[in-house]
Structure 1
Amino acid sequence: MLKLNIKDETSNLKSVVLGTALSSGPVPLAEQAYDPKSLQHILAGTYPKEVDMVQEMDAFATVLKKYGVQVFRPRVITDCNQIFTRDIAFVIEDKLIKANILPDREEEFHAIKYVLEKIDEDQIIYPPKEVHIEGGDVMPWKEYIFIGTYSGPEYSNYITARTNSAAVDFIREKFPNKIVKSFELRKSNTDPRENALHLDCCFQPIGKDMAILHKNGFLMEEEYQWLIDYFGKDKVFEITKEEMYSMMSNVFSISPTVVVSERNFTRLNNWLRQRGFVVEEVPYAEIAKQEGLLRCSTLPLVRE
C-alpha cells in the first residue's frame, strides 16, 4: 500500500505518477484545443509529434529513476493525450483529490486505477460536480495551500479557467488545519502570452524558501505582491512574459536541492546553480507547445 504524503512542493520525492505520450492521438482540430498555445501550434502546423514527446518524457523518467523515485505510468489509452497527470488528481497531506476535469478526460483517471488500488479508499476524495479544480492550480506549501482561481462572472466563457471559487471553499473545508490562500489568475482563450492556465504557469516555490514568479499572470497586483513579501524579493526569480510562454515556472523539484528543468531555460538554470541547486536539464520544448511542462506531467504521491 502507498502511504500518501505531500506537504509541500520540494521535499524528497519518493513516488510519482508520470504521464505518458504513447498513443497520444492525431493532431487535434482547432475547435478541440483546450488552451490558446495548443491552438496556435495546431494552426501553424507545428503541433508536437508523438515520437518527440515520448523521447522527452523518457528523458524525464530517466532522471526521476536516477534519484531512486518510484515512477508509475498510466495505462495507455489508444489515441488519448495522457501527458498531464497533474490535471487528473493531486495529493494534499495524506489525501488524493480527484480533479473535476473536462468530461472527455474522465478516461485518463481510470488509466491510473492500478495506482489508486494501492491507496486506502477512504484517502481518496471525489469533489461534488460544482467544484471545478485541477492540480496545476493547487500547491501545498508549509502551513499554506496556495490555489489559483478565477472568480469573474464570465468564468464559464473561459476554457482556460479550470478552478472556481467553489473549489477554494471545498479545499478550505477539507483541510481546516491549513491556511488556504487563493490567487486570481489572468485568463485568455486566444492569447497564450496573456493566459495563466494554472497557478504553476506563473508561480512555483523551489528549494526551502525561494520561488519563480511572473507578475502578469496575476490579476490583482496585491496578490502578486503578497508572494514577493512572503518569499522576499532576493529569493524570487522573476520571469518575463516570453519566459512564462515557454513555461519557465513549470519546472519540477525532486528534492529541496534538485530541480528538473528544460535545457533551454539558460537564465533560470544559471540562477539556480548560483544558488546551490543541482539542475537536471531535459529536453521538453515539444511538450511545452501544449501549455504544460514538467510539473504538469507529474502527480506526486509521496514526499518525505
Structure 2
Amino acid sequence: MLDLHVNNETSKLKVVVLGTAKKCGPVPLPEEAYDPKSLEHIMAGTYPLEKDMVREMQAFAEVFKKYGVKVLRPKVLEDCNQIFSRDIAFVIDDTLVKANILPDREEEFEAIKHVIDKIDEKKILYPPQEVHIEGGDVMPWNDYIFIGTYTGSDYPDYITARTNKEGVEYVRKMFPNKKVKSFELRKSITNPRENALHLDCCFQPVGKNKAIIHKNGFLVKEEYEWLVAYFGKENIFEINADEMYQMCCNVFSIAPDVVVSEKNFTRLNIWLREQGFTVEEIPYAEISKQGGLLRCSTMPLIRE
C-alpha cells in the first residue's frame, strides 16, 4: 500500500508518478490544442518530436534515481499524450484528489490504475462534475493550500480556464483544517505570454521560504502583493513575460535544497545557486513547447 503524504512543495520526495512521452501520437490539429503555446508551435511546424521528449523525460527520471526517489510511470496508451501527470490527480496531506480534467483526457487517469489500486480507497476523492480543478493550480504549502483559479463570467469561453470557483470551494470543504487562498490568473487563448494556464506557470515556492513569481500572471494586484508579503520581497525571484513563456516558474523540488531546473534558465539557475540550492539542470525545452514543464510532468505521492 501507498501511505500518501504531501504537505508542501519542497520536502524530501520519496515517491512520484512521472508521466511518459512514449506513443504520444501525431502532431495535434490546431483546433485540438489545449493552450496557446502548443497552438503556436503547431502553426509554426516546430511542435516537439516524440523521440526528443522521451529523451528529456529520461533525463528527469535519471535525476530521481540519483536521489533515491521511487518513480512510478503510467501504462503507455496508444496515441495519447501522457506527459503531464500533474493534471490528472494530486495529493494533499494523505488524500489523493482526482482532477476533473478535460473529458478527452479521462483515459490518462485509467492509465495509472495500478498506482490508484495501491491507495486506500477511503483516501481518494472524486469531485462532483461541476467542480473543475487541475493539479497545476493546487499547491499545498504547510498550513495553506494555494489555488489558481479563474472566476470571470466568460469562464466557459476559455479552454485555458482550468479551475473554477466550485473547485476552490470543494478543496476548502474537504480540507477544513487548511487555509485555502485562491488567486485569479490571467487567461488568453491566443497569446502564450499573457496566459497563466495554471498557478505553477506564474508562481512556485522553493526551499523553506522562497518563491519564483511572475507579476503579470495574476489578475488581481492585491493577490500578487499578498504572496510577495508572505514570502518577503528579499526571498522572491521575479521573472519576466519571456521567462514565464519559457516556463521558468515550473521547476520541481526534490528536497528543500535540491531543485530540478531547465538548463537554459540561466538567470534563474544562477539565483538558485546563490541562495544555496543544488540545481540539477536537464534539457526540457521541447516539452516546454506544450505549455508545461517539470512540475507539470510529476505527481508527488509521498514526501517526508
Residue 260 of structure 2 aligns to a residue in which SS?
strand
Q: Which amino acid aligns with 1:154?
A: D
Give TM-score scaled by structure 1 length: 1.00
Q: Which amino acid aligns with 1:55?
A: R
Size of the aligned set, in residue pairs, is 304
Other-structure match for 1:50: 50
CA shift digits 1:112-158 (9 cap, x unpaired): 00001110011110000000000000000011000000000000000
Note the 1:1-304 alignment, pairs <5 A.
Answer: 1-304=1-304
Tell me, in whole angstroms, the C-alpha distance in 2 between the residues paired with 1:8 and 1:296. 16
TM-superposed CA distance for 1:58, in Å, is 0.1
Tell me, in whole angstroms, the C-alpha distance in 2 between the residues paired with 1:66 and 1:108. 27
Tell me, in whole angstroms, the C-alpha distance in 2 between the residues paired with 1:5 and 1:200. 20
Tell me, in whole angstroms, the C-alpha distance in 1 between the residues paired with 2:54 and 2:243. 24
Residue 225 of structure 1 aligns to a residue in which SS?
helix
Q: Which amino acid aligns with 1:35?
A: D
Tell me, in whole angstroms, the C-alpha distance in 2 between the residues paired with 1:145 and 1:223. 14
Unaligned runs of 5+ in 1: none
Give TM-score scaled by structure 2 length: 1.00
Query: What is the alpha-carbon root mean square deviation over aligned residues?
Result: 0.3
TM-superposed CA distance for 1:67, in Å, is 0.3
Q: Which amino acid aligns with 1:269?
A: N
Percentage of identical aligned residues: 72
Q: Which amino acid aligns with 1:73?
A: R
Task: List structure 1 runs of 4+ shifted beyond 4 angstroms.
Answer: none
Residue 204 of structure 2 aligns to a residue in which SS?
strand
Q: Which amino acid aligns with 1:214?
A: H
CA shift digits 1:136-195 (9 cap, x unpaired): 000000110000000000000000000000010000000000000000000001100000
Tell me, in whole angstroms, the C-alpha distance in 1 between the residues paired with 2:35 and 2:275. 34
Residue 296 of structure 1 aligns to a residue in which SS?
helix
Residue 71 of structure 1 aligns to a residue in which SS?
strand
Tell me, in whole angstroms, the C-alpha distance in 1 between the residues paired with 2:66 and 2:122. 32
Q: Which amino acid aligns with 1:205?
A: P
Unaligned runs of 5+ in 2: none
Residue 15 of structure 2 aligns to a residue in which SS?
strand
Q: Which amino acid aligns with 2:241?
A: K
Residue 296 of structure 2 aligns to a residue in which SS?
coil
TM-superposed CA distance for 1:276, in Å, is 0.6
